[in-house]
Amino acid sequence: MEVRIGVQNVARELTFESEESTEAVTAAVEAALSSGSLLRLTDDRGRLYLVPTASIGYVHLGDSEKGRVGFGAR
């Protein structure tokens, strides 16, 4: 699953692939936001991402887009 996190006052969003379920990531985001602590997520390669909840603008969870090659038609 693709996870995209928008961070306030940062031009680029944080994007990574996760093997966790949508429900697990949603629960982690909700728990971090309600407690005011750090959001801790791990990508599919085992790298840890820590995001202060006060800086989160949005979290987008979606399907993985692996295998896309080339340019899309407009």
pLDDT tens digit string along 13-49? Answer: 999 999 999 999 999 999 999 999 999 999 999 999 9
| Between residues 70 and 7, the one the model is more confident about | 7
Confidence of residue 66 (pLDDT cuts 50, 70, 90): low
Confidence of residue 63 (pLDDT cuts 50, 70, 90): confident
Domain ranges (residues) in the chain: 2-62
Report the greatest alpha carbon distance in the chain: 44
Signed CA dihedral, 18, 22, 27, 29: sign only: positive
Can you give the pTM of this predicted structure?
Answer: 0.79
What pLDDT is attached to residue 73? 61
Do 4 and 59 contact (CB within 8 A), yes or no?
yes
